[in-house]
Amino acid sequence: MNTVDAAGAPEPFASLADEAAALDAADPLAAVRDEFIGAESTLVYFDGNSLGRPLHRSAERLERFVHEQWGGRLIRGWDESWMELPFQIGDTIGRSAIGAAPGQTVIGDSTTVLLYKLIRAAFDAQHASDPARVEIVVDTDNFPTDRYLVEGIATERGGRVRWIDVDRASGVTAEALHAAVGPQTAVVVLSQIAYRSGYLADAPALTRIAHEAGALILWDLCHSAGSVAIEADAWGFDLAVGCTYKYLNGGPGSPAFAYVAGRHQASLAQPIQGWMGNADVFAMGPEYVPSPGMRRFLSGTPPIVGMLALQDTLALIEDVGIDAIRTKSIALTEFSIRLADELLAGLGVTVASPRDAAERGGHVTLQHPSMRAVTATLWAQDVIPDYRDPGGLRIGLSPLSTSFAETLAGMIAVRDAVTAAGRP
Ligand SMILES: *Cc1c(COP(=O)(O)O)cnc(C)c1O
């Protein structure tokens, strides 16, 4: 069970420790935490939204793969199972995490490369069918890679970027998107959960607004896949890309997934035409003929080793259900905001995340000028949040691997570090 228990909290926080213990005792997902490597230590991990912890069973899976599959089957493995793995795991992501029917989700390259391929494909298709559609809409607080890609694609294809200026403590609202889209819009690129503030966008409403303007919309699901319910098909998503090393615990640099709605697959041409996207991979013919279905969005040899571990988290998600995960996620973020108000507000720390749970994803950002130094202090003490400029300490609360006692211990450590940083 959780080793950061009620007895571990210093005396002045005894009632909070009781509360954390009660929340852990009532948590239906509490036992899942013990399935993660490192759960037994007193380390506080507040960064599962950046790099999820590994499951014990993933270590076993990887070891087994090296001995039995790679070592035993050798090159035969491609024919026997590996060629199909990106599609198989993609369909499992579709079913367990993003509400997509089979045949629309695939594991591909990094998030950045998949974003490039899909945004460019969508821009080209839109611009070809209506030359007036020259704008890509993106917000100023979207993740850097998304913004840089959009700028690059606009330059490369003779388009324009239409920026939505957003408040860094929230995100893109329906009104803001409404004002930015029109007959000139080709594609809209938004994150469902803002990486800085944790703002949870109203994805169904924003998708409708993009469609009413005749635009396609691409959702970046990096901070949402595995932490909130997503209904890609039901909400009418056109395209989506998401990370697997965050809430899906795929391991450092594990490859991303792409979702392309069935209705668009045949009309989208992605720019990195490699042999793995060809209609007949092993024909090795003279020219590129895009494969039907999701295969056309692949380029080179699939990164099989990188896509092994995330299957264990997908199985866990199917087992406990995304709704239970979201319920715990909300409870964890509520608890951490309450602790921030109680322990940190007096030190000048503010909450730079939405206070309404319906508008908040799985992390909470705390704002204070000394947070960069505070992060370094905390890391040295095995309390691991991360830092995002300007002055933002991100408290990432991964519902499957984080306990309430751990959250309390970490927030007390934040309080001590901010207090120490304030002393001359
Ligand atoms: C983490 C993250 C990425 C990361 O992209 P990589 O290509 O994996 O480095 C992209 N977009 C968002 C919104 C993210 O949170």
Apex 82 CA angle, 77 and 88, nearest 5: 150
User: Which three-class secondary structure state does DSSP give residue 61?
Assistant: helix
Apex 350 CA angle, 348 and 354, nearest 5: 170
Q: What fold, for 16-55+321-421? A: Aspartate Aminotransferase, domain 1 (3.90.1150)
pLDDT on residue 1: 37
Retrieve residue 26's tokens: 């009532």
pLDDT on residue 5: 47
CA 289 / ligand 1 centre spacing (Å) = 30
CA 39 / ligand 1 centre spacing (Å) = 26
Specify the length of the chain in residues.
Answer: 424
CATH architecture of 81-317: 3-Layer(aba) Sandwich (3.40)
Other C-beta atoms within 10 Å of 422: how many? 13
pLDDT on residue 205: 98
pLDDT on residue 12: 73
Any bridge partners for residue 383, and if so which? 44
Any bridge partners for residue 384, and if so which? 45
Task: Quote the CA–CA distance of 87 and 175 in Å, as a whole number.
Answer: 37
Task: Quote the CA–CA distance of 121 and 246 in Å, as a whole number.
Answer: 26
Q: For a ligand 1 pocket test, name from 114, 142, 143, 307 the mutation site with the most ligand atoms within 8 angstroms of its C-beta.
A: 143
- Single pTM value for the model: 0.96
β 392-396/363-367 pair status:
antiparallel
CA 258 / ligand 1 centre spacing (Å) = 13
Query: For the chain, which residues make up each domain, given as ranges?
Result: 16-55+321-421, 81-317
The one-digit pLDDT tens for each residue of the chain (424 residues) are 344 444 555 667 889 999 999 999 999 999 999 999 999 999 999 999 999 999 999 999 999 999 999 999 999 999 999 999 999 999 999 999 999 999 999 999 999 999 999 999 999 999 999 999 999 999 999 999 999 999 999 999 999 999 999 988 789 999 999 999 999 999 999 999 999 999 999 999 999 999 999 999 999 999 999 999 999 999 999 999 999 999 999 999 999 999 999 999 999 999 999 999 999 998 888 999 999 999 999 999 999 999 999 999 999 999 999 999 999 999 999 999 999 999 999 999 999 999 999 999 999 999 999 999 999 999 999 999 999 989 999 999 999 999 999 999 999 999 999 999 987 5
Q: Which of 46, 116, 143, 404 is catalytic?
A: 143
Which of ligand 1's atoms lies nearest the C-alpha of 143? 13
Task: Quote the CA–CA distance of 289 and 170 in Å, as a whole number.
Answer: 44
Cβ-contact 18, 11 below 8 angstroms: no
Task: Report whether residue 135 contacts ligand 1, using a CB cutoff of 6 Å.
Answer: no
Residue 59 one-letter amino acid: A
